[in-house]
Amino acid sequence: MGLFSFLSGKQDGPDGTPESSTVGTGQSPSAVAEPGAPPETPFVRPPAWDMPDLNTAALTAPTEKGSSDGPTVGPADPALTAELQGPIIEVIKTVFDPEIPVDIYELGLIYEIIVDAERRVLINMTLTSPACPSAQQ
């Protein structure tokens, strides 16, 4: 039948005649599931998904600007921000996304760099996705 015979569910047999197949149905030829039973898949659920103490609240909780549990940085000092922005960016460029071999600055995850009069630095950034596995780090 040809290269794309899996689309029709039929394949050529060893002698060249078309024969029925279970390809594309989610069932293996050796074991046909009972009607109504879910099809067998090679997917295995990771044990971490079943952990009752998995804390995802930090990923979904809204944050308020100026909240007391966040970092405290005074008003921005434009001169210090301009002076330190280059060296800070160079250091940020050494931090790579764990899933993509690109640094977080080149990915555009850094929104703002603020330096106050006491040389404390605040970096406003985002994650590559809300479900980023490194979010809590």
Residues 30 and 85 in one domain: no
Claim to verify: residue 78 and residue 125 sit in the same structural domain? yes
Distance, in Å, from the CA atom of 98 to the CA atom of 137, rounded to the nearest integer, reads 11
Number of compact structural domains in the chain: 2
Q: Which residues contact 44 (CB under 8 A, 6 or more apart)?
A: none
61 found inside a domain:
no
Which residues span the domain enclosing 107? 71-137
DSSP codes joined into one string, 25-44: TT--SS-PPPTTSPPP-S--
Domain-located, residue 26: yes
Q: Compute mean pLDDT per 10 residues along the chain, 137 residues long, and list them.
A: 56 57 48 60 71 63 60 87 93 87 91 92 86 72
Does the reported pTM lie above 0.85? no
